[in-house]
């Protein structure tokens, strides 16, 4: 843009003890930024700490404190060391230039001043500083302020509110189902959705507000002046309605929702870091409460978040130390009570030796991505144990649950291949259990992953069949070997005609598609006999065996099931 229309967002500090030189330098820098003057080194440092200039035009020869000393003090201050220092000097000795560069100077302007040359040098460095500030404070995808700039503006808003007695609101917005779209449709679609979200939020915010993208699928809205809880709640509802409108990208519509966490100054915290952390805690609570909602911060939420962070740290330590255990539950051919397979199940003991229920840590492991290395450990041990059992003459397979997060990881197939090669287990002895939800989208990625696993020779089982997105279409398209009838149907099949009918339909479906069947949660002989009568022959449940450690399963394989 023309020089006279550039925004005065660049601060230029001119430091010289000669009035005539100050006037000439001021003329050279005119229109390139907001200009301030200092006539000695001490005054320059005081003004620099207050103004945080972008460019400093610094004379070398000054009484009391020369330009070299001023530059050294500037570079020693973390808040000022990014300033572009241009030395203005009548000296032309190489030693002066070398010292200036060593101290952190970026350029020289010679005296007597050549105004066009001086202006060109000043313009270059103001543009460079402006670009550097944009890169440091702006998200490159959406052009929104980033976390760094938000922190600065949040601190300013809190300080202003402290003086005026007003409230500051911070809303942390997370797109609920963005990851599924981004993984399934590709990053180009995901980027377009993020850019559209940024546009919507910006258009529906006030000039005084700051809309920021810290990263990923999270956005933050800073409200420097809020009237009360009701106003912020109403605003959060409007944002949710905004996000709920369809996203049209490349002629396809995508439907998303948002979970929003809200924290307020001074009600919830007194500093920027705590205010952000509390908004994050409230957002997580909104997600766990069902998503597509908003939640204000409370002390109870903070306690739950502290427990969650502690669990995350302990899980990472357990992974590093290799203390996750694998228990096994037998799969039994009910007709002759012979063990034909085992299911590998993760177990984790706390410091007191108590087993922590998987439901308490698996969801967090999936959310943080820790499930990928944890799942790799479990698969490795299961394959190692199965190889030993097979070598000892036991004709059985092992099934291992695979999280959707693992399945979508681009390294998953290669990890399975490496484990097969490392353990030497026969691939057909390994069965990977995935849920219906993994296949529901029928994405190209899912088909390619299953095809690659089939090439390795491993078997695929659909876990908890009938409880999710059951579809004949995906059973036909995907290479599936086994259907596992969910225990919720088995539990009440003797008393609920609907459950018995569902099981019968699944058995008929399995027979028609030549799929093996396994019934989960069998606890009584009556259930066993009813399942046999319906045509399901392989079962697992407490009737035969609870999940037990590897050593106990080895003993059970030797002795057989008790009669």
Q: CATH number of the domain at 230, please.
A: 3.30.70.270
CB atoms within 10 A of CB 215: 10
Domain-terminating residue out of 136, 156, 187: 136
Overall pTM > 0.85: no
Whether the Cβ atoms of residue 56 and residue 85 lie closer than 8 Å to each other: yes
The answer to whether residues 112 and 155 belong to one domain is: no
Give the whole-angstrom CA distance, residue 417 versus residue 412: 9
The answer to whether residues 290 and 266 belong to one domain is: yes
The answer to whether residues 74 and 161 belong to one domain is: no
The answer to whether residues 127 and 152 belong to one domain is: no
The answer to whether residues 474 and 334 belong to one domain is: yes
Residue 363 inside a domain? The answer is: no
- β partners of residue 325: 347
The answer to whether residues 167 and 37 belong to one domain is: no
The answer to whether residues 258 and 336 belong to one domain is: no
Domain-terminating residue out of 111, 136, 161: 136
Residue 221, CB-side half-sphere exposure with 13 Å CA sphere: 29
Among 537, 549, 490, CA closest to 510: 537
Q: Name the domain count of the chain.
A: 3
Q: Any idea what the CATH number is for the domain that residue 31 is in?
A: 3.40.50.2300
Give DSSP secondary structure letters for 304-354.
HHHHHHHHHHHHHHHHHHT--EEEEEEEEETTTTEEEEEEEEEEEE-TTSP
The answer to whether residues 396 and 507 belong to one domain is: yes
Residue 306 inside a domain? The answer is: no
Residue 426 inside a domain? The answer is: yes
The answer to whether residues 343 and 293 belong to one domain is: no
The answer to whether residues 279 and 331 belong to one domain is: no
Residue 309 inside a domain? The answer is: no
Residue 354 inside a domain? The answer is: no
Residue 441 inside a domain? The answer is: yes
Helix (H) or strand (E) holding 115: helix 115-137
The one-digit pLDDT tens for each residue of the chain (563 residues) are: 333 333 347 899 999 999 999 999 999 999 999 999 999 999 999 999 999 999 999 998 898 899 999 999 999 998 898 899 999 988 777 777 788 888 888 998 888 889 999 999 999 999 988 888 777 788 889 999 998 889 989 999 999 999 998 889 999 999 998 988 888 888 899 999 999 999 999 999 998 999 999 989 999 999 998 877 778 888 999 999 999 999 999 999 999 999 999 999 988 888 999 999 999 989 988 988 888 889 988 877 667 767 788 888 899 999 999 899 999 999 999 999 999 999 999 999 987 888 999 998 998 898 889 999 999 999 999 999 999 999 999 999 999 999 988 998 889 999 999 999 999 999 999 999 998 777 765 566 788 899 899 999 999 998 878 665 555 666 777 888 999 998 989 998 998 888 999 999 999 989 988 999 999 999 999 999 999 999 999 999 999 999 999 999 999 999 999 87
Q: Could you give the 3-state DSSP secondary structure of residue 77?
A: coil
CA dihedral 272, 273, 274, 277 (to 10 degrees): 120
Residue 141 inside a domain? The answer is: no
Residue 293 inside a domain? The answer is: yes
The answer to whether residues 87 and 211 belong to one domain is: no
Phi-psi region of 57 (alpha: psi -120 to 50; beta: other; left: phi over 0): beta
Give the whole-angstrom CA distance, residue 237 versus residue 12: 44
Residues spanned by the domain of 181: 147-297
Domain-terminating residue out of 101, 136, 171: 136
């Amino acid at each position: 843009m023309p020089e006279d229309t550039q925004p005065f967002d660049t601060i230029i500090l001119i430091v010289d003890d000669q009035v005539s030189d100050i006037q000439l330098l001021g003329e050279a820098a005119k229109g390139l930024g907001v200009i301030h003057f200092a006539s000695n080194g001490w005054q320059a440092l005081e003004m620099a700490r207050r103004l945080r200039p972008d460019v400093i035009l610094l004379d070398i020869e000054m009484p009391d404190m020369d330009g070299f000393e001023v530059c050294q003090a500037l570079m020693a201050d973390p808040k000022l060391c990014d300033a572009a220092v241009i030395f203005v000097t009548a000296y032309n000795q190489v030693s002066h230039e070398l010292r200036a560069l060593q101290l952190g100077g970026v350029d020289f302007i010679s005296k007597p001043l050549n105004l066009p040359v001086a202006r060109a040098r000043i313009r270059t460095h103001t543009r460079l500083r402006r670009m550097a500030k944009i890169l440091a404070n702006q998200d490159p995808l959406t052009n929104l302020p980033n976390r760094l700039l938000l922190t600065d503006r949040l601190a300013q808003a809190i300080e202003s509110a402290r003086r005026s007695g007003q409230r500051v609101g911070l809303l942390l917005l997370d797109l609920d189902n963005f990851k599924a779209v981004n993984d399934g449709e590709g990053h180009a679609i995901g980027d377009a959705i993020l850019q559209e979200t940024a546009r919507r939020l910006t258009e529906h915010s006030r000039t005084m507000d700051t809309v920021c993208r810290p990263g990923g699928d999270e956005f933050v809205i800073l409200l420097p002046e809020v009237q009360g809880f009701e106003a912020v709640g109403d605003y959060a509802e409007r944002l949710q309605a905004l996000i709920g409108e369809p996203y049209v990208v490349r002629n396809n519509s995508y439907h998303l929702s948002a979970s929003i966490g809200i924290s307020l100054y001074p009600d919830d915290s007194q500093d920027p870091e705590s205010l952000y952390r509390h908004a994050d805690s409230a957002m997580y609570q909104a997600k766990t409460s069902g998503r597509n909602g908003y939640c204000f911060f409370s002390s109870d939420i903070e306690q739950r978040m502290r427990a969650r962070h502690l669990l995350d740290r302990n899980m990472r330590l357990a992974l590093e130390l290799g203390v996750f255990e694998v228990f096994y539950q037998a799969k039994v051919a009910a007709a002759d009570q012979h063990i034909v397979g085992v299911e590998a199940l993760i177990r984790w003991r706390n410091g007191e030796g108590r087993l922590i229920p998987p439901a308490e840590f698996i969801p967090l492991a999936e959310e943080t991505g820790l499930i990928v290395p944890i799942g790799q450990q479990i698969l490795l041990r299961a394959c190692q144990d199965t190889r030993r059992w097979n070598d000892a003459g036991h004709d059985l397979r092992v099934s291992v649950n695979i999280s959707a997060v693992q399945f979508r990881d681009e390294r998953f197939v290669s990890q399975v291949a490496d484990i097969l090669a490392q353990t030497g287990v026969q691939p057909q002895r390994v069965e990977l259990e995935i849920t219906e939800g993994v296949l529901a989208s029928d994405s190209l990625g899912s088909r390619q992953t299953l095809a690659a696993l089939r090439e390795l020779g491993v078997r695929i089982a659909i876990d908890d069949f009938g409880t999710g997105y059951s579809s004949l279409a995906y059973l036909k398209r995907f290479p599936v070997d086994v259907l596992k009838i969910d225990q919720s149907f088995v539990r009440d099949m003797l008393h609920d005609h609907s459950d018995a009918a569902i099981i019968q339909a699944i058995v008929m479906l399995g027979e028609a598609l030549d799929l093996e069947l396994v019934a989960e949660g069998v606890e009584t002989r009556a259930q066993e006999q009813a399942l046999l009568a319906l045509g399901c022959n392989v079962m697992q449940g407490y009737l035969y065996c609870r999940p037990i450690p590897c050593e106990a399963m080895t003993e059970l394989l030797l002795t057989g099931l008790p009669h």
